[in-house]
Amino acid sequence: MKSLRLTVAALAIASCGIASSASAATATANADATILAALDVQLDAVRTKLDFGSIAESGTGGTVTLTPAGALTCGSGLVCSGTTGTPQFNITGSANSAVNVSLASSTITLTDAVSTSTMSVALASSAATLTLDGTGKGNFAVGGLLTVGAGQTPGTYNGQLQVSVVYP
């Protein structure tokens, strides 16, 4: 009996140093986080509005396109003149970071305050995504396609557009 106890005790001590398939294994992974500078977007001090200039309508209506770069195309049935312009938005954020640009709405309505007549503008941004430069700066502009109705009421039409920027 004493010999059986010694054999069991010897086996128990011997098995402590032997790895078995049921033993545990471990691994390690690194954890990282990058904190980006808060994004800021401001309307440029000079390029402040989407301005289609003056438009004479001949009774048939038409469209006027003003690209984000400022190129104007006046559709048939319309005569365009005067100063035009597109708003530029300046972004500040983390250097060399990608930024997504979006318009709050793809169309806006311009309204004449006197007659309450309206016109529609389909908006277009110069960039959907851009990369900020080495100092964390970037910019984009907004243009649009103005639809002038047949017999559009003369007046000064106004509206607003809104943009947003976000890190992807």
Q: How far is CA 46 from CA 49, 85, 89, 95, in A?
A: 9, 10, 10, 24
pLDDT in tens, 100-141: 999 999 999 999 999 999 999 999 999 999 999 999 999 999
pLDDT in tens, 42-74: 999 999 999 999 999 989 999 999 999 999 999
pLDDT classification of 8: cutoffs 50, 70, 90? very low
Phi, psi of 5, rounded to the nearest 5 degrees: -65, -40
**Amino acid letter for position 79:** V
Q: How far is CA 114 from CA 118, 119, 120, 152, 153, in A?
A: 11, 14, 17, 13, 10
Q: What is the mean pLDDT of the chain?
A: 91
